[in-house]
Chain A
Amino acid sequence: MAVCTGCSLLCDDIEVTLESGRIARTKNLCRKGLGRFRSLYSERASPRADGSEVDVGDAISRAAEILSGAKRPLLFGWSNSTLEAQQAGIALARKLGGVIDDTSSFCQGPLMELVIRGQMPTGTLDDVRNFGDTLIYWGSDPTSSHPRHMSRFSYFPRGEKLQKGFEEDRTAFAVDVRESPTAKIVADGYFQIPPGGDAEFIEAILSVLDGKMPKVQDKKRMISFVTTLKKAKMGFIFPGLGLVYSLKDRLDLFSQLVARLNEGVPFRVIPMVGHYNMRGFNQTLFEQTGGINQVSFADGEARRGQENGIISALDSCDAALVVGSDPVSSLPAAFARKLAKIPVVVMDPHRNLTADLARVVIPTALSGLEAGGAALRMDGVRVELAPVVEGASPSDAEVLARIREVV
C-alpha cells in the first residue's frame, strides 16, 4: 500500500503495480492523485545555478552562499514537504536568523491557527466517518479539491454508528457561491450565497438560533436548515477557502457560530487544508515557537508577526528559499513581481515558474513516492510515507541538512 500526497487526505490504501521500476498501474487513486503519481515522469527539475547546469553539490553550495549572504532571508513553502523536512527547514531558519512562512499564510492559516490553539472544536476524519451525521461543506468543494473526502470519510461510507450510510443516516449541506460538483451531490442541501455573503449567512443562522426571523429571502428554508443542525448527534463543518477569504478579519463571527451551535449539540470543524502537509508545518512550527507561520528568528529569538508573512516579507527580505511551492504561480502578479527582484533558491521535484526565475534550482525527491517520512493529514492524524520507487534526487530533508552544515 502506498500513500498519496495529492491532497491533505493522504489516502493510504493506494495499490501500485511496478514494471521495471516504473509505476505501471494504480488502484484507488483519484484523478488528482493519479496526476501526482504520474508527475514522477514529467517536468522534473534539473540542478542549475546562475543560469548554467551544475551538479547538485554545486547548486547546494551556491544556495548556501546566497542564503548566508542575505540579511533577512525568507524560507517559504513547506506544505509539500515531510515533517522531517519541515523540522530541518525550521532549524535552518533558526541558524540563518531568517524568516520562515508557509502557504497557509494566504490560505487556511487564520482558521488553522484557531484549531491548533484549541480555540475551535475539531475532530478526526475517522470521527466523521463513524459519527458525523450532519455535515456542512462551507466555501469548500471537496469533490474537486479532495476528491475522496466524501467517499472515504464524510458522506458515503458506513460508520460505526452510521450503518446505513448516507441514504438515511447522514444529512449534508453545501454553502457556496458556486454550484460546485459537491453542491450538486448534496442537491437540496445546497445554499447559494453571493460572493462575500458568508457573514450574512452566519448572521441568519444566529438569528434563527436566537429565535428571531432570519433576514433572508427563504425564511422557511433557513429555519428548517437550522432545525436540522440543532438535531445533529455530531455535526461537522468543513470550511474551505471560500469561507476564509470571504470572512477575512471577521473570522470571529464563524467562531461565534460554532460556539453557539455547541451550546446545543457537538459541532466540530475540520478546515479543508489543501497541500498534503500544511497542517504538519503549522503544528511543528507552533510547537517550537508558539506561532503556526510568519515567524522570524532574527537576533536568535523566535518572533511571530504579520511582517514575516510572505505578503509583507517580500518588501523586506533580500533573498528567498522556496521549497516545494510555486509562489510565482500562486501569488497575485504584483507579489510575484517582488519575488522576481530578489535572489531565489528553489528546491522542488518539478520545474515551475518560481524555478524558472530562480538563481539556484536544486531538484528533490517527490515525497511519498521517491522519499519517505511522515506527514499530518488535514485532521492532524500522522501518516507515515514510504518510498515506492527509486529516484535520482535527494530528499528535501537531506538537502536542507547539507545547506545547514555549510551556512
Chain B
Amino acid sequence: MVGAMEIYQLTPKINCKKCGLPTCMAFAVALLAKEKNIEDCTPLLEPKYEAKLKKLREVMAPLASASETGLIIHDEKCYGCGNCVVACPVNVANDPRGSAIGLGPKSDKVILMVEDGVVKCLNPKECRRFGPNRIMCNLCTSTCPSKAIEFV
C-alpha cells in the first residue's frame, strides 16, 4: 500500500500552504487520511507538475475506491472463494440462512458477497471497523488466501 512518504514525493514540495496546510508532508498525510483531495493542492494542477499529478492520481486510485471503512478490494487477486463472505460476523448475524451456513447471501444486509467471481462490498457502514463502537475486526482479511482485501 502507498505510504505518506511516497505521496509526499509526488507533491510539488514547495510548502506554499495553498492547500491550507503548513507543509507538503502534512498535505500528503491528509491525502492518505482522505481529509484532503488531490485538487486542494492548486500548484499541482500547473502544467509543470503534470507528470507528478498523473502518478499521484495513479497511486491514489485504489484509495479512492476504498469505502468509508477503509476497505479496499484488489479484484485481480481475488479467488471468489467466499471465505470472507462466510467469516464476516456481520454477514453471519444478518444472513443466518445464507452466508452463515456457507451459501451465497440471501439477505441484502450483508457487507460482503461474490459477484462475477470477485468479492464486492455492499454495506460498508455495517462493518465493525466503522462507527462509534468500532472494533478492530479482521476476519475478512485473515481468512483471505490472497490478500485481496485490505484496510487502509
Contacts and interface: CB of A to CB of B under 8 A. Distances in A.
Q: Do chains A and B touch in the complex (CB under 8 A)?
A: yes
Interface of A: 13-15, 25-35, 129, 143-144, 147-148, 150-153, 155-159, 165-167, 181-182, 184-185
B79 A27 contact: no
Nearest to A183: B145
A165 B104 contact: no
Contacts of B82: 28, 30, 147-148, 151-152
Given A152-B82, A181-B145, A157 B102 contact: yes
A165 B139 CA distance: 12
B81 A148 contact: yes
B81 A34 contact: no
Contacts of B85: 151
17 contacts: A13-B103, A26-B116, A29-B116, A30-B117, A31-B79, A33-B117, A34-B116, A143-B79, A147-B82, A150-B83, A151-B86, A153-B102, A155-B83, A158-B100, A181-B79, A181-B145, A185-B83
Contacts of A34: 80, 116-117
B26 interface: no
B2 interface: no
A166 B79 CA distance: 20
A159 to B, nearest CB: 7
B101 A156 contact: no
B118 interface: yes
B146 A181 contact: yes
A158 B78 CA distance: 23
A156 B117 contact: no
Interface in B67-107: 78-83, 85-87, 92, 100-104
A403 B100 CA distance: 48
A155 B86 CA distance: 10
A166 B143 CA distance: 10
B135 to A, nearest CB: 14
Question: Which 5 pairs from chain A and chain B are nearest by CB?
Answer: A157-B102, A28-B104, A34-B117, A181-B145, A30-B80
Interface string B132-152: 000000010001011000000
Nearest to A158: B100
Nearest to A152: B102
Contacts of B79: 30-31, 143-144, 147, 181
B115 A27 contact: yes
A181 B115 CA distance: 21
Contacts of A13: 103-104
Contact of B113 (A27, A31, A33, A144): A27
Given A29-B117, A33-B117, A156 B80 contact: no
Nearest to A125: B102
